[in-house]
Structure 1
Amino acid sequence: MSAEQALEDAAARIAALEIRLAALEDDKAIRELLARYGHYADACLDDEYLALFTADCVMDVSSGAAPEPYEVIRWEGLDTMREFLAVRTAAHGDGFYGRSMHAQGNNLTIRVDGATAVANGYSFILHQDGPRIRLVSASVNEWHFVKVDGTWLIKERRRRMLGAPDTATILRASE
């Protein structure tokens, strides 16, 4: 092998490693973003929580499951996300802050395509209710992300309670 060919081979290997490294860094950044999502929600860090989203973000969540009363509620944009936080506070009062745990399942699947990504997985919300810990929510999630100036942000979250009619569709979004 000539010196020139050895340099070309080394350059090709380095380029391939850079692509693999970028993919691993994107995956890690998205997983950390989702960890911060729950942490900020539980630690009463509303400004930090909202900073995880794009200005035109969407939060699309269900309550109930078929055949029970089933409803999908959407908030679009950061101003309505502030309303979402107000609804959460109205529903749970101040007792929710510091007494809840938002946990993302470790079965998260992520597909990155350039500056966009889709992730699917389970999430749970636990809440201290007196001496008991109770399950508030068990749901499936479809997350859409965009990379803005090198930082991953949440563009859209679709959350469905277990048993919702579109649960399987939500879980297949990253395929």
Structure 2
Amino acid sequence: MTPFATPDPPDVEGLRSPTLADARRIASWAPEASRMELNHGHPGRFRRAWLHVCVAARTVTAPVHVIVWLFIGRLPGHRAYVSPDGDATITLFVRRNRWLLANHYCANPGHGQGRRLRALLKPALIDVTRRQHVTITATTRVPALRDAYMHDLGPNATCQRRSQYWIIELSPTGNPLPQA
């Protein structure tokens, strides 16, 4: 348990924590993930310039990402999951009474790798969410990923736009997101 008295994310059969080889691969996916997210998040004429700056920064910091990904699944209050084929990953961060889905990367976005990973993860998360009264929250700028999260979390999930992000939430009590 974390200091918040929120349970740690469960072990899930078929999914594993990242290894050094996984961490290197995942770090190489980060620039593409940044490009996709920023393409949807920054309106206006400076989007392309900002996009290039962010992708360059992600590329330069890739060695740091390797180290972070290698250890993130071993830190209290964090759990990184890697798909059986090693082509997709997602991290759960434990917050007060909630799990935050983040860092959802795939080798080839849009080819079903993330969907397969989430399909393996979903039953365990939904079960623990109901038993332990933990809320699942996900944020994204990408409309297709917002739709995927809404589908994965089921008909009781709520979605709200805040600034440049969509916030998707599944609460065990059925309470909707608070208004901003």
With the length of structure 1 as denominator, give the TM-score of the two structures: 0.28
Write 1 or 2 for the structure with the bigger share of helix: 2
Larger radius of gyration: 1
Greater strand fraction, Structure 1 or Structure 2: 1
Q: TM-score, normalised by structure 2?
A: 0.27
